[in-house]
């Protein structure tokens, strides 16, 4: 058996069995098998170590999730003691347990508005599938089953189950494993730097909301169940919408009585300086998904927070909602999530992001690379940021298909002890929320170094 908890792991051994038996997500398996995957062995705080002994600053908090950092004893202990007490029981068939009930209460203590009714799932994708089914069933309960179209956006990421894939706007995903779920419509994304032409941010915000209204009128207002969006698109490259965007979107939804769903899988749990992204971006969803930061990624758990309007319809309607998962509200995952939220409260981490490290990081990042020849635009808030890499800033010219600038940059990051994700020609950052000032300085210095190396590679 291989040891997997120390740097003594033999890289080649792990790579060999990995290539023989492990199919990776979002990966060209044949190519990876020839090259060999990077083997991560352990982690502490905001740092990872690989099997070659390299220390790596995790600028992505795993996959946008390890918000409270690695190695937190409070979370480890919560899992350990809950496993001893009750490792599993389900929440179907008129049954509950303390961790599920308490976590629902704990989540409701941090959700805004009336989003106080919690449905559990195990991944963001499952939470999104839950939203799709729940909003459609809501309208069925209301006697309007024909109101079943969901409207989402180009370049949105809502997971990779068939529901999440269909709702999301990722072309590369739609090409595979179809046909997609029907009755999903799509509108443009609010990507001002990339797609607004000569419009000001404000004009563009209005144009994007107009695109929603046009789509609603095209498919028929009485056929639309909900509009779904990430407050800030994450996997799409960290696209921060114009300041007026969500207010305008909300107005359109209200006008046609369309439910508004926030996908908070990345923005939730403090990343933008509030508990949820909808608070930072200024809108009031009827329902929202969360995952990742809910447990800081320590165990898989997700949830949908449901507002009174939808929840009361289900509560008053005397029929089962035929939906759920074996592990909905899993006691061990729930215990970890409770400990995580309590730790976040104890350490005032959301306030730290809002008033201290978030502004600090955004300022330092701009100081480090705003003047860099490769950087066309920086957007971000709190501890999430996206940087557009360009061939020329003014006039704006992108790198064409001849050079995959994001991959060149990502490889330099890998080789220089930094995890930074590339989304096409955009580089994105989403470090653990517990990152210190000194660590944020180090992160920004590394970003500068890697951008310099990237520029050298393509000059």
158 binds ligand PXG (CB under 6 A): yes
Site for ligand PXG in 164-183 (CB under 6 A): 164
Q: How far is the CB of 140 from ligand PXG (least distance, A)?
A: 24
Total of residues contacting ligand PXG (CB under 6 A): 17
Q: How far is the CB of 65 from ligand PXG (least distance, A)?
A: 8
385 binds ligand PXG (CB under 6 A): no
- In the block, tokens 């996997």 appear at 235
By CB under 6 A, name the one of 99, 169, 231, 234 that touches ligand PXG: 234
Closest CB to ligand PXG among residues 9, 423: 423
Q: How far is the CB of 89 from ligand PXG (least distance, A)?
A: 23
Site for ligand PXG in 39-68 (CB under 6 A): 63
Q: Checking phi first, is residue 237 left (phi over 0); if not, alpha (psi -120 to 50) or beta?
A: left
Q: Count CB neighbours of 84 within 10 A.
A: 8
443 binds ligand PXG (CB under 6 A): no
128 binds ligand PXG (CB under 6 A): yes
Quick one: which segment of 13-21, 170-178, 230-238, 308-316 binds ligand PXG (CB under 6 A)? 230-238
Helix (H/G/I), strand (E/B), else coil: 392: strand
E strand intervals along 93-232 = 117-121, 149-153, 184-187, 224-229
Q: How far is the CB of 264 from ligand PXG (least distance, A)?
A: 8
Helix (H/G/I), strand (E/B), else coil: 377: strand
159 binds ligand PXG (CB under 6 A): yes
Peptide bond into 166 cis (omega under 30): no
Q: Which residues contact 43 (CB under 8 A, 6 or more apart)?
A: 49, 58, 66, 70, 71
Distance CA(99)–CA(299), nearest Å, equals 14
Site for ligand PXG in 288-307 (CB under 6 A): 291
Residue 311 sits at φ, ψ, to 5 deg, of: -60, -45
Quick one: which segment of 118-126, 138-146, 175-183, 200-208 binds ligand PXG (CB under 6 A)? 118-126
Q: How far is the CB of 159 from ligand PXG (least distance, A)?
A: 3
Q: Kindly provide the b/e burial profile for residues 89-102, where b requires at least 16 CB atoms within 10 angstroms of the residue's own CB.
A: ebbeeeeebebbee
230 binds ligand PXG (CB under 6 A): yes
Quick one: which segment of 69-77, 216-224, 260-268, 319-327 binds ligand PXG (CB under 6 A)? 260-268
Helix (H/G/I), strand (E/B), else coil: 449: helix
Helix (H/G/I), strand (E/B), else coil: 45: strand
Quick one: which segment of 5-13, 92-100, 122-130, 327-335 binds ligand PXG (CB under 6 A)? 122-130
By CB under 6 A, name the one of 57, 150, 262, 266 that touches ligand PXG: 266
Closest CB to ligand PXG among residues 125, 295: 125
Q: Are 406 and 426 in contact (CB under 8 A)?
A: yes
263 binds ligand PXG (CB under 6 A): yes
Q: Checking phi first, is residue 15 left (phi over 0); if not, alpha (psi -120 to 50) or beta?
A: alpha
Closest CB to ligand PXG among residues 305, 455: 305
| Residue 50: its H or E element | strand 47-50
Q: Are 370 and 447 in contact (CB under 8 A)?
A: no
Distance CA(434)–CA(66), nearest Å, equals 10
249 binds ligand PXG (CB under 6 A): no
125 binds ligand PXG (CB under 6 A): yes
Residue 61 sits at φ, ψ, to 5 deg, of: 45, 55
419 binds ligand PXG (CB under 6 A): no
Q: How far is the CB of 124 from ligand PXG (least distance, A)?
A: 2
Q: How far is the CB of 235 from ligand PXG (least distance, A)?
A: 4
Q: Checking phi first, is residue 346 left (phi over 0); if not, alpha (psi -120 to 50) or beta?
A: alpha
Residue least distant from ligand PXG (Cβ): 124
Closest CB to ligand PXG among residues 9, 152: 152
Closest CB to ligand PXG among residues 158, 372: 158
Q: Count CB neighbours of 190 within 10 A.
A: 27
Beta strands at 117-121 and 302-306: parallel, antiparallel or unpaired: antiparallel
124 binds ligand PXG (CB under 6 A): yes
Q: Count CB neighbours of 241 within 10 A.
A: 25
Closest CB to ligand PXG among residues 135, 207: 135
Residue numbers of the site for ligand PXG (CB under 6 A)? 63, 123-125, 128, 157-159, 164, 230, 234-235, 263, 265-266, 291, 421
């Amino acid at each position: 058996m291989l040891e997997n908890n120390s740097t003594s792991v033999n890289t080649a051994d792990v790579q060999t069995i990995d290539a023989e038996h492990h199919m990776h997500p979002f990966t060209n398996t044949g190519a990876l098998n020839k090259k060999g995957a990077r083997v991560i062995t352990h982690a502490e705080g905001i740092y990872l170590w690989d099997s070659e002994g390299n220390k790596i600053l995790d600028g992505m908090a795993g996959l946008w999730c390890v918000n409270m950092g690695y190695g937190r004893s409070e979370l480890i202990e919560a899992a350990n003691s809950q496993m001893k007490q009750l490792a599993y029981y389900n929440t179907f068939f008129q049954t509950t347990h303390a961790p599920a009930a308490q976590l629902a209460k704990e989540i409701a203590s941090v959700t805004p508005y009336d989003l106080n009714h919690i449905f559990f799932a195990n991944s963001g994708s499952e939470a999104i599938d839950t939203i799709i089914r729940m909003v459609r069933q809501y309208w069925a309960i209301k006697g309007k089953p024909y109101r079943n179209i969901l409207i989402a956006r180009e370049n949105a990421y809502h997971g990779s189950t068939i529901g999440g894939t269909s709702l999301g706007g990722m072309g590369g995903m739609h090409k595979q494993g179809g046909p997609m779920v029907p009755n999903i419509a799509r509108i443009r994304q609010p990507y001002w730097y990339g797609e607004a032409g000569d419009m000001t941010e404000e004009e563009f915000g209005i144009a994007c909301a107009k695109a929603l209204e046009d789509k609603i009128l095209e498919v028929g207002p009485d056929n639309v169940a909900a509009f779904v969006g990430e407050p800030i698109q994450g996997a799409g490259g960290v696209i921060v919408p114009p300041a007026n965007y969500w207010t305008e979107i909300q107005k359109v939804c209200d006008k046609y009585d369309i439910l508004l769903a926030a996908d908070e899988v990345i923005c939730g749990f403090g990343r933008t300086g509030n508990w949820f992204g909808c608070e930072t971006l200024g809108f009031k969803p009827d329902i929202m998904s969360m995952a990742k930061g809910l447990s800081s990624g320590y165990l898989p758990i997700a949830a949908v927070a449901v507002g009174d309007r939808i929840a009361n319809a289900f509560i008053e309607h005397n029929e089962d909602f035929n939906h759920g998962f074996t592990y909905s509200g899993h006691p061990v995952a729930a215990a970890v999530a409770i400990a995580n939220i309590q730790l976040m409260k104890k350490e005032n981490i959301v306030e730290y992001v809002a008033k201290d490290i978030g502004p600090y990081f955004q300022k330092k990042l701009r100081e480090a690379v705003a003047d860099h020849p490769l950087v066309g635009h920086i957007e971000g808030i709190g501890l999430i940021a996206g940087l557009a890499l360009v061939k020329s800033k003014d006039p704006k010219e992108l790198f064409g298909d001849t050079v995959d600038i994001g991959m060149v940059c990502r490889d330099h990051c890998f080789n220089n002890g930094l995890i930074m994700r590339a989304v096409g020609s955009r580089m994105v950052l989403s470090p653990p929320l517990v990152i210190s000032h000194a660590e944020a300085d180090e992160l920004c210095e590394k970003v500068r170094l890697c951008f310099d190396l990237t520029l050298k590679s393509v000059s």
